């Protein structure tokens, strides 16, 4: 059976694995964003938290994925939860730093003007500061998403992995077509996700696009 015949016969399996890969990625990045946002607010309330929180996030980021899963499996088993705990851990440093940098980049006079207009702290955050910090957030999401798409492959070793499962089975049965197709689809998925986030960033920050046009 040649490569094209194998792909045609397994198109359903490949589509399912791609969907699983995407779901694992979305859950990890969404979870990481929620946790990072909460930590960024804590840092915003008390700057002394920045060092300890980024230090913990940095430590998690440096732990090899196989070692982290080896520690988690005896506790949470071979499960999606194990995969997501590991994947979320690797997004925290990227997202937290970008969120804090974005909030720090908001001009103080803009925040003061919002306060003078009678906006509450939460209204000021939602309506003024977060929109202005959006370029930093989108930048962090791009890096975190592409990184997570690659790391999802490793979770094949604990029974998850999406396209990683396709590649793992390919290695086990010396089916190099499966290996190459799994790798290619992972690259395509990462490229598509990055383009989507770039487009989202342009939609959410029209003023940045306008300033670039004026500058040129």
For the chain, which residues make up each domain, given as ranges?
A: 3-207
Q: What is the pLDDT of residue 141?
A: 96
CA dist 159 and 64 (Å) reads: 18
Q: What is the pLDDT of residue 125?
A: 84
Q: What is the pLDDT of residue 214?
A: 53
- How far does CA 12 lie from the centroid of its chain? 26
CA dist 46 and 100 (Å) reads: 12
For domain 3-207, say whether CATH 1.10.3720.10 is its number: yes
User: Splitting the chain (216 residues) into consecutive groups of 10 residues, what average pLDDT does each group show?
Assistant: 82 94 96 97 93 95 90 91 95 96 88 79 84 92 96 91 91 91 95 95 75 52
Q: What is the pLDDT of residue 153?
A: 92
């Amino acid at each position: 059976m040649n490569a094209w015949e194998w792909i045609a016969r397994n198109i359903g399996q490949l589509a399912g694995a791609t969907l699983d890969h995407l779901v694992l990625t979305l859950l990890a990045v969404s979870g990481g964003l929620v946790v990072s946002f909460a930590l960024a607010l804590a840092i915003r309330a008390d700057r002394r938290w920045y060092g300890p929180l980024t230090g913990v996030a940095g430590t998690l980021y440096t732990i090899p994925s196989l070692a982290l899963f080896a520690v988690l499996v005896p506790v949470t088993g071979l499960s999606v939860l194990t995969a997501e705990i590991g994947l979320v851990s690797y997004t925290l440093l990227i997202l937290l730093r970008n969120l804090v940098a974005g909030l720090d980049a908001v001009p103080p006079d803009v925040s003061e003007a919002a306060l003078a207009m009678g906006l509450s702290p939460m209204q000021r955050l939602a309506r003024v500061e977060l929109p202005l910090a959006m370029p930093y957030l989108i930048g962090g999401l791009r890096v975190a998403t592409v990184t997570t798409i690659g790391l999802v492959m490793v979770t094949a070793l604990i029974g998850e992995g999406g396209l990683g499962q396709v590649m793992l089975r390919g290695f086990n049965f010396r089916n190099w077509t499966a290996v190459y197709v799994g790798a290619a689809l992972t690259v395509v998925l990462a490229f598509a996700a990055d383009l989507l986030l770039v487009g989202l960033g342009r939609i959410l920050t029209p003023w940045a696009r306008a300033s670039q046009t004026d500058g040129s």
